[in-house]
Structure 1
């Protein structure tokens, strides 16, 4: 096994941190952020992405909030309402995730946010790096959000151990082709990659692409009843024999 690919939520990082800290922070600050940075090109890219997604939601009769274009103020209000709507559905929207990452960046830089990882994660990163294993992240959160989380942990900046980051721009996490794209991007055969996640559908997709997998069941997580993946509870259980 030449490299290890990791999910974040429920794998390296407690689910509660995502849902009780990061998501509420983004929700609380989205309107303020849009009002302040509306004119920047980076934010305009996200807005165009969100506008296209809202139009598609309308076409699919998903009843998204109405998008108002009468003025900048009404547009900001519309985007804020639509972002809240997407978050309420836990939508893995590329535009949403990109915008959230930018909002969180301000929180991390100001010290209002601090990344969280399980206690076994930093020593595992060091151990795998010493074994010359590439460590990559594949998360529905944007690449920016991934980097920020691992930069600002109580154990310091962990990004020095990480090789590459992949988000939903690569493709949905429950589709085998997404894992094939990542393997090709790294110039590796899928069989040389171990993917660790707490989501069975993601592991099934990785297996279909030819990767080895481990189901990560952290404390407090329900134990899935029907699956075919070896189970671990901490990264300490990754056997040296597969490395």
Structure 2
């Protein structure tokens, strides 16, 4: 059996063994143990705490912790029972994140755009959605598999030549635009919808997720064309959130009728 056949069979075996499903039922590709990804997340978070100032505002930290706690309280058992750590970083980035290993970071700059508890909950729910859907593992796995396939193809493609080099440089760009970036946009859209569900169950107004992205647009978003961006455009996000709104809004309205909506601020 020649090298090409062996390689094809090996790649097929990896693909078959690495398939799983996200919380929305989307088929995904994961190669690495979750424990390894979690360890990477914890290491990155600890490094950030050493490098980025942490907010000294007790009120800000209390508000953010309250929002995060309510989101965590409605997670599936596997995630709710973990020891989540929430840190507010004193930095004007309009951003937040959640890392494998159960770490949540919020930058104070985000609070200038997410102007109420429900808008902040939309961001925190979205970021936690990335963790629930194992997007970090999927992203690393996709990049690892893509690079290995291109490297292997280069080895099997024969003698060195300018034409061969140009073809594989083009394939590398094609893989980035055609595989890795769309996967990332799919992750963002999926995290938006997971976050919408989480924030509503936690007692936050899901309609504020749309207002948040309107605020983001007004504050000036990315000018990169959507096809070449890792994130959907603000208008695409707003459309997708609006389409996914009826179910979460019904959940939230029921909590309001029972007096169980969130009251963090």
- After TM superposition, the score normalised by the length of structure 2 is 0.27
Q: Whose relative contact order is higher, 1 or 2, with alpha carbons under 8 Å and at least 6 apart?
A: 1
Structure (1 or 2) with the larger CA radius of gyration: 2
Q: Which structure has greater helix proportion? A: 2
